Structure 1
């Protein structure tokens, strides 16, 4: 790992003392001994307060929009020759934000190791009261680790965080991607079991520090189970037997394996059912600049023109805006929703974008209350639908699919409402007509049904979860996107993984062990379809 010397306790103390713009978080960290005594609760809150989870400017502008958003076509992009080449500096920022408590992320790995070390030094009695923090921190670590593996493959994991654990600087070896997945899946099961078996109510201290789920042990249990379900399904084409056994056990025993599924209710409450990281109450920053500094505010071609318009999708008015032109000082909106063709050149995009749709301003561009999306009921029900279609009852799969699509509609209207949008949610007949549209209706062969599940899940992920959309696109090969071949040698098409950033390859002596497969065409272990 890069040799960066960071005193975690001092860093957190400085952030708390001098960052007046984060008053709410400072309240969570109210501990006069923080600068001299490591505090598990404070490390935990810092771990949750992650701008790589929130839709913060830097994360959207430099990572989600430029890499996975382009590679999954969930974001529009400038059709320039180097559009498929990853930005080494920006992906290096993302990489280091996972490992170190500095910059724009929270340093998930470093903070977890600090929690682990502090916990191991406690008495048995103190460990009993602090274990809830450790188990919740594991869930967050495994969730974020899976995203790193999905982007890069093998990563430093088991030896990462030596500075925090042993106060020693030592390069961490790269762990095998599949073995990391196995560790995370097992660890998530153990964490869910802990939260389910806990006989004590959530403590006031845990509730105060838990800025993600407000101390709900039931929600932490569901969160752990749901990320485990996601990871099992992601590797299901590689090791179907293992995934099938584990997933069927989960879906056949909902009492033992509760999920983030919104109670399987179509018109559910995202605010209380989904895992969402809310913005700080002092937040005054929108995503306007993140989207408009490039071409990312244009409506993506395939999503609007192919997936949504033919289905008369009721999400269109809250995901997109018709846009238009100013004529003689008067804004004239376009007559219909329509995205620019992906085949447009960069010049054509610049000259014609006012005639085409953009993403919605209330939902995305100017929404001060937009939360970070960790996992939603809609995604979980799409996962259930796929598992049931492949290994169980097709009729049960249809129920899960219809629920997932309906919940996605409810989710985007919820986001629009947070941003002050005034679009009325679709009534029951409109939603029923949408579900019965031939482009959406759950009908056809097994392969056709699976294709509809994967397409609708891709639409649901959209730009805010473009990392998940890219992973699922590589896993399933749906939707069947067309990419314009670019002229830059070696970067004619999108990659199948990110190459390691130079900030890692230049400093980690173990890089030689993975150098041979560090290419943009190497596939992640689960990418076998």
Structure 2
């Protein structure tokens, strides 16, 4: 895939075209006297801007944003309590992208640029789909009409169903537009098309793959619609290799185009505060998964619990470090109110007020929502200071501390995801060869991280060798989606898999299922906002946390979850 090349210059060139409110008239707001007139905007530069911003949003949500903690890839040990105290973000960014995509679409149509027009349709549909993924009903049909002759300053919120199905229709229409004109398309410069280097056939496959993703997104809510769509897409060209996936390398010039939470473009603690989550570390250890060493760093000083007679300095010693290993006396556990961490018992132990000791000898993570306001104290940290270090908990692999690198990418759509979608569809009877596609998905994920030589051994491991269950497919898809947390989250929301639950210090006993609308929506577009709230379904958890407007809460169900058993 292409790197985020020339981003800074391109962004400056189109900066005047990025609008800050979905209710503004783009002909009257944010006028830059040194910018480009809207009528002169170059579609290529406009589309590059949308690609960059879409990739950075997916990348940020994928690695260190709270979504990565929601799906228990990471936890943070400072300035975040991992208790699901998050309302969500991205609303303004998505609408900024949509305004730029609309302008690119109009300029492409005016200039007869079919390739650019199709790409604009795909990017517009993707950003609308992301909006409705996270929020529910959103301004859609009237959202970008502030500059029309019948300009609408206060757009209605369209149903989530109409946004999903409208986006799918746009993916399919754009794919067909490109396919029908293949061989007669204008050039899209490789330096400007940072997704696919100007390769129209890859854009066709990407559009079809996105349509497949969103048909499957509706598979529980509207199975008849989803079934027909999935079967149609499975007969269409789709992403067919790791080389064809949409994964954009970080440029590493500024914080806005670098690996999220690196310690070089901000403060060192941006990196050190991000820790592996035990949900992931113990699952990878159980499966003997080689991706552990690629994603995590070995703990600086491991812990072992031994009988009194085996303490280096004698049976009366409680704790000591000898030759890089910390020893703890088993006789001290009860008196010190300690318990050894186990994935099966730790939650109950913490509810009982016990303090966890993690004896994993290589990769030590943080349990989800384990410590309340002081996660940096975990595993008897001898220097428990917010923002400080913890020699008894692993860091992420040092590569994540860099600005850029060969494995540091914003992964918008991986070949592994495509394979797991096909495997799941086959289990439903909508496709074929569930086992073959499952195996390809595992292999593709390993290849993505440079571990393709490990596949032959790994696929035979207990728990990895194909067993024919949805649980196993979704578990491996969850692992493969590491650094793509938004898709892992939306998969979990749709299927309830893997079986994730908040820790004992979370705000609610269940994981949230949506983002809360920006507060200003209740005043700037109040009538339409309050009308949209009527379409959210209250649940037994809606009132778990006070302070929200009516049922505009993270635990109110949008249309796609109403009448569906999952995720809770």
TM-score range, shorter chain: 0.7 to 0.9
Give the whole-Å Cα distance in 2 for the aligned partners of 1:437 and 1:313: 9
Verify: 1:375 aligned to 2:375, yes or no.
no
SS at match of 2:120: helix
Verify: 1:38 aligned to 2:41, yes or no.
yes
Asked whether the 8 Å contact 2:69–2:82 carries over to 1, the reply is no
SS at match of 2:412: strand
Residue pairs, 1:118-197, within 5 angstroms: 118-119=107-108, 122=110, 126-127=111-112, 130-166=113-149, 168=151, 170-197=153-180
Q: 1:280 to 1:165 in 2, by over 3 A?
A: farther
Question: Deviation digits for residues 290-317 of structure 1, max 9, x if unmatched?
Answer: 8943875211111111x21111001111
Give the whole-Å Cα distance in 1 for the aligned partners of 2:511 and 2:271: 18
Partner of 1:344: 370
Give the whole-Å Cα distance in 2 for the aligned partners of 1:335 and 1:320: 13
Partner of 2:478: 458
Asked whether the 8 Å contact 2:77–2:374 carries over to 1, the reply is no
Larger radius of gyration: 2
* Alpha-carbon distance, 1:227 to partner: 0.4
Among 80, 91, 103, the residue aligned to 1:95: 91
* Alpha-carbon distance, 1:153 to partner: 0.7
Give the whole-Å Cα distance in 2 for the aligned partners of 1:96 and 1:111: 12
Q: Structure 2: where are the runs of 5+ without partners?
A: 1-20, 303-319, 327-359, 382-389, 537-551
* Alpha-carbon distance, 1:338 to partner: 3.1
Q: 1:7 to 1:392 in 2, by over 3 A?
A: closer
Partner of 2:553: 519
Partner of 1:304: 281
TM-score by length of 1: 0.77
Verify: 1:322 aligned to 2:298, yes or no.
yes
Question: Deviation digits for residues 112-147 of structure 1, max 9, x if unmatched?
Answer: 222344355x3xxx32xx122111111111122212
Of residues 315-324 and 352-361 in structure 1, the stretch that sits farther from structure 2 once superposed is 352-361
Asked whether the 8 Å contact 1:388–1:397 carries over to 2, the reply is yes
Give the whole-Å Cα distance in 1 for the aligned partners of 2:438 and 2:291: 16
Among 521, 527, 545, the residue aligned to 1:504: 521
Question: Deviation digits for residues 25-83 of structure 1, max 9, x if unmatched?
Answer: xxxxxxxx767723323322222221653677xx45xx963432222222213597683
* Alpha-carbon distance, 1:378 to partner: 0.4
Asked whether the 8 Å contact 1:153–1:497 carries over to 2, the reply is yes
SS at match of 1:356: coil
Asked whether the 8 Å contact 1:13–1:35 carries over to 2, the reply is no
The alignment's C-alpha RMSD in Å is 3.3
Asked whether the 8 Å contact 1:158–1:175 carries over to 2, the reply is yes
Aligned residues between the structures: 455
* Alpha-carbon distance, 1:216 to partner: 0.5
The structure carrying a bigger helix percent of its residues is: 1
Residue pairs, 1:122-521, within 5 angstroms: 122=110, 126-127=111-112, 130-166=113-149, 168=151, 170-251=153-234, 253=235, 257-262=236-241, 270=242, 272-280=243-251, 282=253, 285-286=258-259, 287-289=261-263, 292-293=269-270, 297-305=274-282, 307-325=283-301, 335-342=361-368, 344-345=370-371, 346-347=373-374, 349-350=376-377, 351-352=380-381, 353-362=390-399, 364-369=400-405, 370-391=408-429, 396-413=433-450, 425=451, 427=453, 430-443=454-467, 446=468, 449-462=469-482, 464-486=483-505, 491=508, 493-509=510-526, 510-516=528-534, 517=536, 518-521=552-555
Q: 1:110 to 1:322 in 2, by over 3 A?
A: same
Give the whole-Å Cα distance in 1 for the aligned partners of 2:488 and 2:273: 16
Of residues 514-523 and 212-221 in structure 1, the stretch that sits farther from structure 2 once superposed is 514-523
